[in-house]
């Protein structure tokens, strides 16, 4: 499962979504996430499902990457569903659909659980699509450009964007390193799969020391590589590719606005 995490990976391509300006992709991703919480009925989520499916097809990103990003959150989805089902009460005088001792299931709890699962799934899909179709350099430039207005209050936009991008791109590397350490310790007799949840979590503690050492070593190597290339921050830096808005960015923005309008319109039928 460690290697199934796809957040932070980049799949090269020349699709319509790959070619979008990174600033537009970041803003539209935020709007997409907000839109997920605007919808309050299943009819509205039909449009979200269709929109997301079409975006995945246009991006030409293999579906296995999307599925790999969802596998690690299956347990989270199950816990979220159970909490919403059993912790949500019914209206005044409403009869529960199922009852066993102190446990009760109401229709409202099932609906709320379904909404939360849908929102979490498409939240992961939407954010994964952003990183899968945006290279590290483009992502850094996009975040920096969006943070530039805050330079007036002393915010180090370039350094902050660089740190965020490096942290995001280090996720797959650290996951791969964790998987290697686990296999090495399993070859020496370590057991990470048997026992209950607490014992399995306890068995993961010996992974922390070698993982921290490996992380600090990689960070030191990255710092030395950046210094060797005369990296001194954002002051005076030039870029080979200048970010420029084009017609496709306008088209993508209009399509996202149409989805938002449809989502708001669908609330009337809740």
Q: Across 16-20, 62-66, 111-115, 132-136, which has the greatest mean pLDDT?
A: 16-20
Q: Report residue 7's pLDDT band, with 50, 70 and 90 as the boundaries.
A: low
Taking residues 198-221, report their average pLDDT. 79
Of 119, 101, 120, nearest to 42 (Cα)? Answer: 119
* pLDDT tens sequence across 137-179: 788 788 888 888 887 887 787 778 878 778 777 777 777 788 8
Report the interhelical angle of 42-59 vs 22-38 (nearest 10°): 160
What is the structure's pLDDT at 255? 93
Q: Is the pLDDT at 120 greater than 60, yes or no?
A: yes
Q: Report residue 253's pLDDT band, with 50, 70 and 90 as the boundaries.
A: very high
Taking residues 36-62, report their average pLDDT. 89
Helix ranges restricted to H, the chain: 22-38, 42-59, 63-70, 74-87, 107-132, 136-147, 157-187, 197-203, 208-228, 247-266
Whole-angstrom Cα distance, residue 115 to residue 40?
8
Whole-angstrom Cα distance, residue 186 to residue 206?
12
Q: Report residue 1's pLDDT band, with 50, 70 and 90 as the boundaries.
A: very low
* pLDDT tens sequence across 68-106: 778 778 888 888 888 888 877 766 666 777 777 777 787
Taking residues 8-19, report their average pLDDT. 85
Domain ranges of the chain: 2-179+244-269
What is the structure's pLDDT at 44? 85
Give CA angle at 106 (102, 111), nearest 5°.
Answer: 135
**How high does pLDDT run on average in the chain?**
82
Proportion of the chain above pLDDT 90, given as a percent: 17
* DSSP symbols for 237-270: ---SS-----HHHHHHHHHHHHHHHHHHHHGGG-
What is the structure's pLDDT at 9? 75
What is the structure's pLDDT at 25? 93
Q: Across 65-69, 133-137, 180-184, 260-264, which has the greatest mean pLDDT?
A: 260-264
Whole-angstrom Cα distance, residue 62 to residue 55?
12
What is the structure's pLDDT at 236? 65
Contacts of 150 (CB under 8 A, 6+ apart): 157
């Amino acid at each position: 499962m460690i290697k199934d995490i796809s957040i932070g990976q980049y799949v090269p391509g020349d699709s319509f979504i790959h070619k979008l300006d990174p600033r537009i992709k970041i803003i539209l991703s935020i709007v997409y996430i907000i839109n997920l919480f605007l919808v309050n009925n299943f009819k509205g989520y039909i449009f979200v499902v269709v929109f997301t499916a079409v975006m995945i097809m246009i991006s030409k990103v293999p579906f296995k990457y999307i599925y790999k990003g969802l596998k690690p959150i299956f347990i989270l989805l199950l816990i979220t569903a159970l909490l919403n089902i059993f912790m949500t009460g019914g209206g005044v005088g409403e009869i529960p659909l199922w009852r066993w001792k102190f446990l009760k299931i109401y229709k409202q709890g099932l609906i709320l659980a379904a909404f939360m699962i849908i929102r979490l799934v498409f939240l992961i899909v939407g954010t994964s699509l952003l990183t899968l179709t945006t290279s590290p350099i483009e992502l850094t430039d996009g975040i920096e450009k969006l943070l530039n207005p805050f330079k007036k209050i002393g915010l180090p936009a370039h350094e902050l964007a660089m740190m965020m991008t490096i942290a995001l791109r280090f996720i797959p590397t650290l996951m791969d390193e964790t998987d290697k350490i686990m296999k090495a310790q399993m070859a020496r007799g370590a057991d990470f799969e048997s026992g209950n949840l607490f014992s399995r979590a306890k068995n993961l503690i010996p992974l922390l020391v070698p993982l921290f050492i490996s992380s600090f070593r990689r960070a030191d190597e990255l710092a030395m590589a950046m210094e060797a290339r005369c990296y001194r921050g954002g002051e005076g830096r030039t870029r080979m590719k200048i970010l420029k808005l084009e017609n496709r960015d306008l088209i993508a923005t209009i399509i996202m606005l149409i989805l938002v309008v449809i989502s708001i319109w669908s609330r009337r039928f809740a």
